[in-house]
Amino acid sequence: MGDLVIRRLPSRRASARGRHRDGVVAVAVPHYTWDHQARAEAALLQVTWPGWAVLYGTGSRLFQAIATWPTPEPVLLCDRTVEGLKSQMREAEMTAIVQRWTITETTDRP
């Protein structure tokens, strides 16, 4: 069998970032972080609501919360607003409390 030969295609500098077209000097593109306010609100919600991992999707434009406490099934909530997500989080927590209370009540009886 012959030896394996690896050939690399000629490429541009890997460290250069920007817009490129043949024959035109590369123009630097500034790094931009999208949706500063929404991401800050998600970070604040993460800090103020223990037991939840809160994210903001810049592509989906949705606030998302994932329960970090033990649950029978994963709990993932999504909403377009922080207020809507908070409401869903409260409802999920109350449902979890009621379900735990019901389970412990039925198992405690002889």
For residue 44, the cross-strand partners are none
Which tens digits make up the pLDDT trace of 13-53?
555 555 666 777 777 777 777 899 999 999 999 999 999 99
CA–CA dist 82, 38 (Å, integer): 9
The string of pLDDT tens digits covering residues 41-97 is 999 999 999 999 999 999 999 999 999 998 888 999 999 999 999 999 999 999 988
d(CA 58, CA 64): 11
pTM: 0.65
